[in-house]
Amino acid sequence: MSQLPRATIHLSNIVANWRALDGLHPGATTSAVVKADGYGLGAGPVSRALMRAGCSSFFVAYLEEGLALRKTLGLGPRIFVLNGPTRKEMSAYVTAGLTAVLSSPDHVKAWANAPKGTSALHFDTGMNRLGLKPSVLATALPALHKLQPVLVMSHLACADEKANPMNAAQRKAFDDISAVFPDTPASLANSDGCYLGKAFGYDLIRPGLALYGGTHPPKGFRINAGLTLDAAILSVFDAEMGEKVGYGATHTLAQDAVLATVGIGYADGLLRGGANALIAYLDGIACPVLGRISMDLVTIDVSKAQDKAKAGARVEFIGEHAKLEDQAARAGTLGYELLTGLSNRVERVYA
């Protein structure tokens, strides 16, 4: 059996998450954001599973991602490309049947002169990242209507902070924009936006991280683990109180312990920020990470699980016990970074 770190992608859980989110907004279309190779879990397998479950709209970031997904899924689903086209890419969008998300005056002008294709309009409602400024509605509305967009959208900046007043402010701004396009479907909610209530659902919701086991859902709403990241124990040994662990000797043992060295490190995506903070699980028993995380190795305290600890045993670093967002918080980051940071060395297994 391979000693490589392994990510088991639970497609049934991802589908279950999609269906649960769909249930939050009856009447709205639930799409799937599968950019960055399905947040590191494999856009192809994930999208095929979701399409079988009924998902008909997908979002990626780049043309290349859209072309690959079109090849995988065939001509049926709509594929939106969030970062929009360059002038040289226009014909590729049309040939592949991709929907260009237009978010700047240059996008709009170039698309107006391109071969006929489908487009969406992205408006900035306060995030100041991508998006047409609402002021263009006063000067360019006829040109925008002429494009016959299939979607009008914006993006929430603070959806993960339910009480943040910016959520309501952005919704109000988006209401004003979508009212100008009464016959065009509208979309505002990202993953956390799905939890803000039915007023944020509009016609289409765009969950991403929540599909894969991330975000902080409200009490009573379950998001399942999209993957289990585990790695093999390479050695088990006794260590004495006062001894040091790892590079820089950043951890000093407060008591005698049984330690295990596991074959996973920052080259696999286990962030160095998780040093002396991450919690691994051996057969469901919590085993703290001790010392710094090195390129290929990490040391854990298996004193409470020493009867389970042996070379070859698999240790969970993300999964049902090691919750994605909990681990991310311990590493000082977000679930997004843990997922998209999984390296090619991590073996992907689909279950």
- Among candidate residues 247, 308, 323, 350, the one labeled active-site is 247
Instruction: Dig out the tokens for 84 from the structure.
Output: 């929009």
* pLDDT for the residue numbered 83: 97
* pLDDT for the residue numbered 179: 98
Q: Is 295 annotated as a binding residue?
A: yes
Cβ neighbours around 122 below 10 Å, total: 26
**CA 72 from centroid of its chain's CA atoms:** 20
* pLDDT for the residue numbered 2: 83
Cβ neighbours around 260 below 10 Å, total: 26
Contact, 262 vs 253, CB < 8 A?
no
* pLDDT for the residue numbered 114: 80
Q: Which domains does the chain possess?
A: 11-212 (3.20.20.10), 227-350 (2.40.37.10)
How far, CA to CA in Å, does 144 sit from each of 65, 149, 184, 237?
26, 8, 12, 67
247 flagged as catalytic: yes
* pLDDT for the residue numbered 105: 95
Q: Is 129 annotated as a binding residue?
A: yes
Q: What H or E segment, with its residue span, contains residue 144? A: helix 136-146
For the packed helices 43-53 and 11-24, what is the interaxial angle rounded to 10 degrees?
50
Helix (H, G, I), strand (E, B) or coil at 64: helix
Residue for token pair 């943040």: 164
Strand 227-239 and strand 6-9: pairing?
Answer: antiparallel
**φ, ψ (nearest 5 deg) of residue 92:** -65, -40
**φ, ψ (nearest 5 deg) of residue 6:** -135, 135
Q: Which residues contact 56 (CB under 8 A, 6 or more apart)?
A: 29, 31, 76, 77, 78
**φ, ψ (nearest 5 deg) of residue 193:** -60, -25
Q: What is the pTM of this model?
A: 0.96
- Residue 81 DSSP symbol: E
Going 50 to 54 to 59 to 65, the CA torsion angle's sign is positive
What is the distance between the alpha carbons of residues 154 and 133, in angstroms, rounded to a whole number?
Answer: 11
Contact, 303 vs 258, CB < 8 A?
yes
304 flagged as catalytic: no
Tens digit of pLDDT at every position of the chain (351 positions) = 689 999 999 999 999 999 999 999 999 999 999 999 999 999 999 999 999 999 999 999 999 999 999 999 999 999 999 999 999 999 999 999 999 999 999 999 999 988 789 999 999 999 999 999 999 999 999 999 999 999 999 999 999 999 999 999 999 999 999 999 999 999 999 999 999 999 999 999 999 999 999 999 999 999 999 999 999 999 999 999 999 999 999 999 999 999 999 999 999 999 999 999 999 999 999 999 999 999 999 999 999 999 999 999 999 999 999 999 999 999 999 999 999 999 999 999 999
- Among candidate residues 35, 195, 266, 336, the one labeled active-site is 35
281 bridge partner residues: 286, 316
